[in-house]
Amino acid sequence: MIRKKSIVSIMLALMLALVMAVAGCAGEEPQETEEPANTKVILATTTSTQDTGLLDELIPFFKEETGYEISTIAVGTGEALRMGEAGDADVLLTHAPASEQELVDNNDVMNYQLVMHNDFVIVGPAADPTQIKGIESAADAFQKLMDNEGTFVSRGDDSGTHKKEKAVWEKMDVKPEGDWYVEAGAGMGDTLRMASEKQAYTLTDRGTYLAQKENLDLEVLVEGDKILLNIYHVMQVNPEKNDKINADGAKAFVEFLVSSDTQKVIEDFGKDKYGEPLFIPDAGKNEDEIG
């Protein structure tokens, strides 16, 4: 009898210890991510990712997850790519695939990943004095603007948007010039505001237009042409450029942007405020699957 009681007592003690151990584990706080040796990461990117507010949404999550701090330099895509070529940034987020491919081919950048897309649209005053609304071809709309000298404000800054605009003119084998054609030499937000003030037309990415729309007197007039597709990639600058490049931080940012959690944030970004997302997530896709 005594022996049976002893066995029962031992079993009860073991069960109690197991329950306490499980409870102790459940109460443990998750271990914090170890802070990297070099926490500073320089991101060179297009103004659209900043003007839309997307980076303001993503960067705090990145810091919380990894410990890295992003310093954003928002310029035109052309300038961002030049910074990468010179080794003056750690990671790039841009939207000019043809120009980006040159850096990939020259081994200036690596870990080149598709992130997201939206599209470019031609916006202008509601009165639409040049009557381009509803034209399906961007080239036809440009032709009508030029023929009727409808005031057009160009970014004029070698940005991804400016490169796209020039691609349309080149398709037409035309060089725009004249008083009707105004070069802003500015970011997308400033160019939109200038076009609004002048009651002029301009080419813009849809995301920046939606983010700025309530402060503009402009409407979407031309959209849907396949040439207006706007594709964003992220890439690391080759660390062989110089010993100051934070290769680990750049790699972490690339992996963060294409992760499923971040792609979900991108998918939902803008829906609550604008009724539609500002970007469509594309990680894991091929470019020919878009559009």
- Are the C-beta atoms of 115 and 278 separated by less than 8 Å? no
Same domain for 111 and 242, yes or no, is yes
* pLDDT in the model for residue 33: 55
Split at pLDDT 50, 70, 90, the class of 30 is very low
Same domain for 143 and 209, yes or no, is yes
Number of domains in the chain: 2
* pLDDT in the model for residue 127: 97
Across 193-213, average pLDDT: 96
- CATH number of 106's domain: 3.40.190.10
Same domain for 111 and 241, yes or no, is yes
- In the predicted model, is pLDDT for residue 100 greater than 80? yes
**Mode of pairing for the β-strands spanning 219-222 and 69-75:** unpaired
Q: Which of 20-34, 114-128, 153-167, 206-220 has the lowest mean pLDDT?
A: 20-34
Same domain for 183 and 156, yes or no, is yes
Q: Is residue 253 part of a domain?
A: yes
Split at pLDDT 50, 70, 90, the class of 32 is low
Of 204, 228, 252, the one marking the end of a domain is: 228
Q: Is residue 9 part of a domain?
A: no
Of 228, 248, 277, the one marking the end of a domain is: 228
| More confident site: 284 or 11 | 284
* pLDDT in the model for residue 118: 95
Rounded-to-integer distance, Cα 43 and Cα 36, Å: 17
Q: Which of 19-33, 41-55, 133-147 has the lowest mean pLDDT?
A: 19-33
- In the predicted model, is pLDDT for residue 179 greater than 80? yes
Q: Is residue 47 part of a domain?
A: yes
Rounded-to-integer distance, Cα 47 and Cα 205, Å: 11
Rounded-to-integer distance, Cα 196 and Cα 56, Å: 25
Say what the pTM is: 0.82
Six-digit token string for 121: 């649209």
- In the predicted model, is pLDDT for residue 103 greater than 70? yes
Split at pLDDT 50, 70, 90, the class of 255 is very high
Q: Is residue 165 part of a domain?
A: yes
Rounded-to-integer distance, Cα 290 and Cα 287, Å: 5
**Mode of pairing for the β-strands spanning 229-237 and 109-124:** antiparallel
User: With b meaning 16 or more CB within 10 Å and e meaning fewer, what string describes 129-166?
Assistant: ebebeebebbbebbbebbeeebbbbbbbbbbbbbbbbb
Same domain for 217 and 135, yes or no, is yes
Same domain for 125 and 224, yes or no, is yes
* pLDDT in the model for residue 37: 83
Same domain for 128 and 199, yes or no, is yes
Same domain for 73 and 129, yes or no, is no
Q: By residue range, what is the domain housing residue 62?
A: 40-118+231-289
Alpha helices in 202-290 (DSSP H): 206-212, 247-258, 260-268, 271-274
| Beta-carbon count within 10 A of 171 CB | 13
Of 177, 199, 228, the one marking the end of a domain is: 228
pLDDT tens-digit readout, 206-248: 999 999 999 999 999 999 999 999 999 999 999 999 999 999 9
Q: Is residue 21 part of a domain?
A: no
Split at pLDDT 50, 70, 90, the class of 251 is very high
Same domain for 191 and 282, yes or no, is no
Residue type, 211: A
pLDDT tens-digit readout, 3-26: 444 444 544 454 445 444 444 444
| Beta-carbon count within 10 A of 200 CB | 23
Same domain for 110 and 251, yes or no, is yes
Q: Is residue 33 part of a domain?
A: no
pLDDT tens-digit readout, 129-146: 999 999 999 999 999 999
Q: Is residue 202 part of a domain?
A: yes
Q: Is 220 exposed, middle or buried (0-12, 13-18, 19+ CB in 10 A)?
A: middle
* pLDDT in the model for residue 270: 94
CA torsion, points 263, 114, 94, 54, in degrees to nearest 10?
Answer: -10
Across 196-205, average pLDDT: 98
Indicate the helix (H) or strand (E) that contains 54: helix 54-66
- In the predicted model, is pLDDT for residue 258 greater than 90? yes
- In the predicted model, is pLDDT for residue 200 greater than 70? yes
Same domain for 81 and 207, yes or no, is no
* pLDDT in the model for residue 2: 41
Same domain for 127 and 218, yes or no, is yes
